[in-house]
Amino acid sequence: MKFMSLSRVLLLQVLIIGLFAVGCETKNNNDDNSNIDKLSIGVVSYGEGANLLSRYEQFKDYIATKTKKIVELEPAYNELQAVAQVERKTWEVVFAPPGLAAIAIASSQYKPIFSMEGVTSTQRSLILVRDDKPYQKIGDLANRVIALGKPGSAAAFYVPLYDLYGMTLAQIKLAPTPKAALTWLSDSTVEAIAMSENDYETLRREFTQTKFRVLHTSRWIPAGVVLASPNLDRRLFSVIQKSMREAPADIVADAGYVPTAKIPNYEQFIKLIEKVRPFEEKVKQTPVVLAPTISAKTK
């Protein structure tokens, strides 16, 4: 009986040791598999569709290999959608044009890690009119109908709103794309439009029947930036940053960032955005009064 009891004890010990070993192996396997989850990369598409996905394909695969994660490219089709994504912090990495970048940095604590190529430090916002119209200065647009881009766009929305500050306009129409805005100006649906200097130089060739004129040119707009989510743990952040810095030249060129460029200072630009963001709802009104609302207490 004593022998049987001792055997049972030994058997129990063996089973416990075996279960412990299996548990450790399972834990190790789970640790290995903990890297296999989703990493979301956000970009603003502007209707590029398949071309955009193709351009980022190599970058996506490269980051997936380096981070050992399933990487998904998630395009937003305008800045308004992109702002909603960064406010929810659903993107771990964001290729952000200036307006989106300012909001993501100031409101959602995203961290800029690289300057972007293509949105240069010489980008500006233009207010355009038809050349056959009599307008000579920005104040001449008072009580007129103008078109801006979607909220979230620096050059097509926030910067022109800042430059129109204090004015009353008959109506503001929000164009879904820069090309749509230029079409509205061409057919006199609106009296003036706002868009980036880069977009205008690209699109003006498509409108040979109408001559446009630059009524106003804004201040310089900082370059767009690649942003990292505040939710990224330190180790993963370091892996992503190092991998992007050391990426092959063709991958860097397709993704459109400059590993060696200085990251622009957004401090002043964030202040500009914060001043005009309260007007996001006002632009839907008619007329549009671009001045702070005076409360009864301050009268």
Task: Using DSSP, state whether 258 is helix, strand or coil.
Answer: strand
Q: What is the mean pLDDT of the chain?
A: 85
pLDDT at 45: 75
pLDDT bin (cut points 50, 70, 90) of residue 27 is very low
Task: Using DSSP, state whether 78 is helix, strand or coil.
Answer: coil
Q: Which CATH code fits 123-221+275-290?
A: 3.40.190.10
Hey, which CATH number is domain 38-116+225-263, 3.40.50.300, 3.40.50.1980, 3.40.190.10, 3.20.20.300?
3.40.190.10
Place of tokens 């977009």: 199
How is residue 158 annotated by DSSP? I
pLDDT bin (cut points 50, 70, 90) of residue 119 is very low
pLDDT at 162: 95
Calculate mean pLDDT across residues 86-99: 93
Answer yes or no: is pLDDT of 49 > 70. no
- Domain 38-116+225-263 identical in fold to domain 123-221+275-290: yes
pTM for this predicted structure:
0.78
Q: Where are the alpha helices (DSSP H) in 34-88?
A: 50-55, 57-67, 79-88
Answer yes or no: is pLDDT of 150 > 90. no
Which strand (E) or helix (H) includes residue 173? strand 171-174
- Dist CA 91 CA 110 (whole Å): 10
Answer yes or no: is pLDDT of 174 > 80. yes
- Which has the higher per-residue pLDDT, 173 or 294? 173
pLDDT at 2: 46
pLDDT at 35: 43
Q: Rounded to an integer, what is the distance from CA 167 to the centroid of its chain?
A: 29
Neighbours of 221 (CB within 10 A): 26
Domain positions in the chain: 38-116+225-263, 123-221+275-290
- Dist CA 154 CA 179 (whole Å): 16
